[in-house]
Structure 1
């Protein structure tokens, strides 16, 4: 009996030691701590706004067939645009190849263009089949939007690119402990991007945040086209202008952290 108690006690100490190790790992990584509360909070906020809007606008969806399908498909362009940049970068980190790339003549700008090109390819491969399948399954074609769809697509994927660059910069700064940002950061913007409801549903202070994002202008423009049959050039202009400003900012942040990482040898240190 005594030997059994000693065995159980020793096992419990080893379990406690491992739990303590993982707790220190969690405590030392603010992205991991943020992620714990992140998903429930974002889901609650977004579905709360959807419920609030639908409660007072129950006939909204019926006014424009396919509006929710279009919103989902366009949101996926933004998500995959950002993820395409982040994942291509992370694949270099995971394979410990980042340092090898930059002993070659490859320049940071050329690498960024390659990341964006792969993001475009990934996005087209992911969204085109879904858009085509919606035609026979739901009788709705997002391609009926015509040329405005190209403008919506371009603005959303460019937004995905500068978001991806900012995430890459943060991973260069904080290491692989921040890699979860590649998946969670985009959904932080979902409630204020007005994907499934108009910006007017949001509280006043959140409306100001929404209008500072290209995505809110794109989705407002999409609904105006589907409900009213008009092209809101003002929204497209705001989206393009904001994207240009944020892209310049993202490029500056990326180059700054890239140069810092290279100067301290962090490109070869892919751990956390």
Structure 2
């Protein structure tokens, strides 16, 4: 058989380039995108959030730069505490996603593992991931910027606890959404917490926000934590009212998120979704 008669496989020459095949693949990916609202949300999310967040920061700095200068380490503290919330949420979500990526979810639940035990293990891993991520950054802030967040003392523990518990609540809600919508909702693990950044008053007080957004902000534990942090740095006293509000809201949201997770897990088990890791 002549060599040139042997069917060729693999990549076709450039002369065989087909716009029709390109169009078919584009159509396939378009259908995947169109059928997944979390992916569409993610496309518009980052530019919008950056614009809103830095717009409010700019507005605050323009009118209150002197106040910022008075609070030594206020921005460093805000960044580090915000990372506690972010990593607390991500620790729960990513630990769950690792089971999905390895297609191990079904194997877990042919064992005696109970959903509540799984929740507890996700929270423990979240705490460990957060400490591993935040402690080195906090230590490096001392030689780099001459500021130690540990100087906040006992209030730091209260701030940390409230932010990581809020992160756990968000993480459980995201897991429930992934169980409901499949891996198409995976991107929510990285974007949901940042949706709350503009109304969490991380780098500016709640009063900078429009009136209707202030109402939303006061319903978040994170806003009370960051207001309490600024009160401590500027005034030297702990605002127990903010701490009480943050703790109470966290207790409420944790009960709700565990309930949503358990319901979502039950529905996923009924549908057989625990054995499916697709879109």
TM range (shorter): over 0.9
Q: Are 2:99 and 1:96 aligned? A: no
> Partner of 1:171 in structure 2?
178
Q: How many residues align?
A: 266
Alignment of structure 1 residues 1-272 onto 2, 5 Å = 11-272=18-279
CA distance in 1, matches of 2:197, 2:62: 20
What secondary structure is seen at the aligned counterpart in 1 of 2:58?
Answer: helix
Structure 2 unaligned regions, length at least 5? 1-13
Which string of whole-angstrom CA distances, capped at 9 and with x for unpartnered residues, describes residues 190-235 of structure 1?
0000000000000000000000000000000000000000110000
Could you tell me the TM-score, scaled by structure 1's length?
Answer: 0.96
Deviations 1:26-84 (A, max 9, x none): 00000001111111111100100000111111212210111000000000000000000
Moved over 6 A (4+): none
Q: Distance in 2 between matches of 1:107 and 1:20?
A: 42
Give 1:188 shift. 0.1
What is the CA–CA distance in structure 2 between the aligned matches of 1:81 and 1:53, rounded to whole Å?
A: 28
Q: CA deviation at 1:9?
A: 8.2
RMSD of equivalent CA atoms: 0.9
